[in-house]
A and B are shown apart, each in its own frame.
Chain A
Amino acid sequence: MRIQVRFFASLREAVGSSNGELELESGATVREALAALRAAHPKVSDARFAVAVNRGYAAESTPLAEGDEIALIPPVSGG
């Protein structure tokens, strides 16, 4: 299944892009997506971030579906 990936702030600069796509096995969870992202982008391995799926914070165990949007959320600093 194909999912969309979004990068922000320091991760966006480190990866060199604000978004991308991932091909995952059906039944994959956030955990598998992160493993694939770390393999594709070494800078992701060094970074601290939370994860959102379809614009809500998610856990590593959160399952993914075709067309989902996963976002890597570095430590926030709004306000």
Chain B
Amino acid sequence: MIRLVSEPIDVAALTAGTFIPDSGGVVSFVGAVRDSTRGRRVVRLEYEAYPQMAESEIAAIVRLAKERFGEVEIDVVHRIGTLLPGEVAVVIVARAPHRGAAFDACRFAIDTLKQTVPIWKKEVYEDGEVWIGDRP
């Protein structure tokens, strides 16, 4: 399941969920908004997405993970809009018969999402704001 949402993510519901019959290992990544970056206090984050392309790029990541790591199910939920420090921006849950593939697929999914998926975050500080990624 791949979803972009605008409301708070129910992390417990996603990470507990209904276990598929052969999922011996379930690995979750939960990405939350930090309250500071390089010493600057973050007031809020604004996430923006190119929705149709973000979903298809995430789907491509899931397909690639299955090719690399074998039998694995991956759910990805990413929130867009305004988020405050401490709120959850993304949850990735990987389920596989054995834990190796679950760990590998979960790691691969978040690492690759951060490189290819058209989602952007703007950090807003007390004294300025910046779109992350634009500075080399």
Q: Among B78, B118, B121, B134, point to the contact of A73 (Cβ < 8 A).
A: B118
Q: Is A2 an interface residue (CB 8 A)?
A: no
Q: Is the CB of A74 within 8 A of B133?
A: yes
> How far apart are A72's CB and chain B's nearest CB, in angstroms?
10
- Given the complex, which residues of A lie within 8 Å of B131, measured CB to CB? 9-10, 13, 74, 77
Contacts of B54 in A (CB 8 A): 78
Neighbouring A residues of B118 by C-beta, 8 Å: 8, 52, 71, 73, 76, 78
In the complex the two chains form, is A55's CB within 8 Å of B53's CB?
A: yes
Q: How many A-B pairs fall under 8 Å by CB?
A: 72
The total of chain A residues at the interface (CB under 8 A) is 19
- In residues 87-123 of chain B, which contact A (Cβ within 8 Å)? 89-90, 110, 113-122
Contact yes or no, A76 B56, CB < 8 A: no
**Inter-subunit contact A78/B122 (CB<8 Å):** no
Say whether B18 faces chain A, with CB atoms less than 8 Å apart: no
Cβ of A78 and Cβ of B50 under 8 Å apart?
no
User: What is the chain A residue whose CB lies nearest that of B4?
Assistant: A78
Q: Which chain B residues border A52 with CB–CB below 8 Å? A: 50, 53, 118
What string of 1s and 0s marks CB contacts (under 8 Å) between A52-79 and chain B?
1001110000000000000101111111
